[in-house]
């Protein structure tokens, strides 16, 4: 991988976003608006304190998934991917560029949702907010990597959009958002164990319960990172220089 | 247009030998043996769907070969070292419509290995060449069809490639622009660049130094326009193509 080409690609992706302020606004604002909604739907700050942090990790995951899936699908459909593959650009340069650009967006997105949650919405954490921010950003990057990978299986933008519910909703159901994973039947529990979002939810729940970083959190983070790397490698494998 | 350009030494920039491409059980390119000479404008003429784009994609290295071999600039097609020596323009412009012209060129130029002053010079030179001055800061998505086609060409020209592969670069453009682009192609050829230009419009055939007539994945002819006219005795190249396509001697010119 050549860092300069990855940086140039990240810059290009961010420039594309800059010309599309509405998309930037939605990426940054939607997770915060969802948190505010959640606060008033629950009606009870104490309940939000227990449930809210998990969503701080989930909303960015969902939004990054869809943004990355569609951006990559567009790159395939409009021929720019083929042009780049005929040029001296490595697949890893391209993927790292995407990861960098969307990772930066994720940082801004997560900072905003955290600040709003911790000030206006009175969410209190037992410890520092930094571990939560780190995990939320990792979740967002996992969403992005999954979106990149999923886009390989979408022939049209329409399909890419529909991958979002197909990919995300089952994970939300099985990941412990609706019913705690411990209460699931064995089969559902096994399914839950192989889905990345389960570990994102786990990590967030542990952080709200513990004042300091624990080994269990590290284990969750390791799993999230492993899924991210696997999705990026999968994405690289689906970027073919030559078609049959 | 009858300029000879630099005399080809042994100079072949592309040499194909028994090239076969099969896709989904269908033969797209059927046992092609051919060559493209240095410093010339070679026309790849044939109806839509005859395999022109697939052949170009093979040369650029983004299409897998089923059998046979193709050498481009002395290396097997698709060799990593070829990636900054080829310029490729697809039928659709394949640029970012949500970036400005300058941003597009800066990104593709960086990918081609240009930095700093040489990059700025290459961009300015290419913009001047394709008469895109004044549009640098406009979003490419707002360009007209003719401007878009030139942006696609601009990216292909940006890295001063040795071989330009242009897929229907002038189709659907207004006559003045077409004339200007053909003049540019010959200027590039005179300066030593080799060009392979495809078209399905026969009146462009006469503008090429050499022609590859293609139909259903095979070549009907591989010769300069004058030679093809002579061989077929046809009054123009369109009739010559028809004679070759329907006549009994399908291998003329080989």
Per-residue pLDDT of chain A (244 residues; tens, 9 = 90+): 789 999 999 999 999 999 999 989 988 898 899 899 999 998 888 888 888 888 888 888 998 899 889 988 999 889 999 999 999 999 889 988 998 999 899 899 999 999 999 999 988 888 888 999 999 999 988 999 999 899 888 888 889 889 888 988 899 899 888 888 889 999 999 999 999 999 999 999 898 888 888 999 999 999 999 999 999 889 888 888 888 7
Q: Name every residue whose Cβ is closer than 8 Å to that of residue B116 and which is 6 or more positions away in sequence.
A: none
- Out of A83, A87, A242, the one facing B78 most closely (by C-beta) is A242
The residues with which B197 forms a beta bridge, in sequence order, are B43, B166
Per-residue pLDDT tens digits for A88-106: 999 889 988 998 999 899 8
* pTM passes above 0.80: yes
Q: Judge whether B14 and B36 are in contact, CB under 8 Å.
A: yes
What is the C-alpha to C-alpha distance for residues B154 and B129, in angstroms, rounded to an integer? 8
What is the C-alpha to C-alpha distance for residues A11 and B251, in angstroms, rounded to an integer? 52
Alpha helices in chain B (DSSP H): 52-60, 101-111, 116-129, 145-157, 175-190, 225-232, 237-246
A contacts of B111 (beta carbons < 8 Å): 5, 8, 84, 87-89
Interface test with A, best of B111, B138, B159 (most A CBs within 10 A): B111
Distance in Å, alpha carbon of B110 to nearest chain A alpha carbon: 7
Chain B nearest-CA residue for A87: B83
Q: How far apart, in Å, are the Cα atoms of A48 and each of A59, A170, A226, B39, B84?
A: 15, 23, 30, 71, 55
What domains are defined for chain B? 1-85+165-254 (3.40.50.300), 93-160 (no CATH)
Distance in Å, alpha carbon of B100 to nearest chain A alpha carbon: 9
What is the C-alpha to C-alpha distance for residues A119 and B115, in angstroms, rounded to an integer? 45
The residues with which B67 forms a beta bridge, in sequence order, are B20
Q: What is the DSSP letter of A70?
A: H
- Out of B90, B98, B113, the one facing A88 most closely (by C-beta) is B113
Q: Give me the phi and psi of B15, to 5 degrees please.
A: -140, 120
Tokens representing A112 are 């905003």
Task: Quote the radius of gyration of chain B (alpha carbons, Å).
Answer: 18
Alpha helices in A127-156 (DSSP H): 130-151
A contacts of B20 (beta carbons < 8 Å): none
What value of ipTM does the predicted structure carry?
0.88
Per-residue pLDDT tens digits for A63-85: 889 988 998 899 988 999 999 99
Nearest to A26 by CA among A73, A62, A2: A62
């Amino acid at each position: 991988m050549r860092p300069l080409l990855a940086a140039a690609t990240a810059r290009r992706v961010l420039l594309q976003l800059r010309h599309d302020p509405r998309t930037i606004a939605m990426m940054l604002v939607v997770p915060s608006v969802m948190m505010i909604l959640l606060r008033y739907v629950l009606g009870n700050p104490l309940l939000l304190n227990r449930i809210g942090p998990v969503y701080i990790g989930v909303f960015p995951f969902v939004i990054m998934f869809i943004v990355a899936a569609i951006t990559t699908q567009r790159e395939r459909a409009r021929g720019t991917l083929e042009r780049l593959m005929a040029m001296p650009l490595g697949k890893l340069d391209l993927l790292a560029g995407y990861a960098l650009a969307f990772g930066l967006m994720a940082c801004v997105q997560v900072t905003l949702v955290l600040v709003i949650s911790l000030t206006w919405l009175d969410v209190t954490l037992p410890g520092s907010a930094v571990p939560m921010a780190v995990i939320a950003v990792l979740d967002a990057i996992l969403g992005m990597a999954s979106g990149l990978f999923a886009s390989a299986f979408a022939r049209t933008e329409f399909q890419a959009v529909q991958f979002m519910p197909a990919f995300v909703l089952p994970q939300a159901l099985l990941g412990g958002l609706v019913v705690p994973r411990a209460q699931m039947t064995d089969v559902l529990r096994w399914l839950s164990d192989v889905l990345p979002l389960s570990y994102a939810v786990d990590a967030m729940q542990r952080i709200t319960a513990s004042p300091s970083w624990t080994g269990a959190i590290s284990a969750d983070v390791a799993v999230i990172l492993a899924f991210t790397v696997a999705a990026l490698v999968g994405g690289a494998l689906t970027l073919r220089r030559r078609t049959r | 247009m009858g300029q000879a350009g630099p005399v080809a030494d042994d100079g072949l920039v592309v040499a194909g030998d028994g090239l076969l491409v099969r896709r989904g059980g269908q033969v797209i390119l059927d046992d092609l043996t051919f060559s493209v000479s240095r410093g010339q404008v070679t026309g790849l003429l044939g109806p839509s769907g005859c395999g022109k784009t697939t052949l170009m994609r093979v040369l650029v290295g983004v299409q897998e070969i089923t059998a046979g071999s193709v050498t481009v600039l002395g290396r097997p097609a698709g060799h990593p070292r070829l990636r900054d020596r080829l310029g490729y323009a697809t039928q659709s412009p394949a640029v970012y419509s949500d970036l400005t012209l300058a941003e597009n060129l800066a990104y593709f130029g960086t990918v081609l290995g240009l930095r700093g002053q040489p990059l700025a010079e290459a961009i300015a030179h290419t913009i001047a060449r394709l008469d895109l001055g004044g549009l640098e800061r406009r979003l490419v998505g707002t360009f007209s069809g003719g401007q878009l086609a030139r942006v696609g060409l601009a990216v292909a020209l940006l890295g001063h490639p040795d071989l330009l592969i242009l897929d229907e670069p002038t189709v659907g453009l207004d006559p003045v622009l077409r004339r200007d682009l053909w003049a540019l192609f010959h200027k590039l050829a005179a300066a030593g660049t080799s060009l392979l230009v495809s078209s399905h419009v026969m009146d462009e055939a006469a503008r090429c130094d050499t022609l590859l007539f293609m139909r259903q994945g095979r070549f009907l002819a591989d010769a300069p326009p004058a030679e093809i006219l002579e061989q077929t005795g046809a009054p123009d190249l369109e009739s010559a193509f028809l004679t070759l396509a329907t006549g009994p001697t399908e291998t003329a010119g080989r």
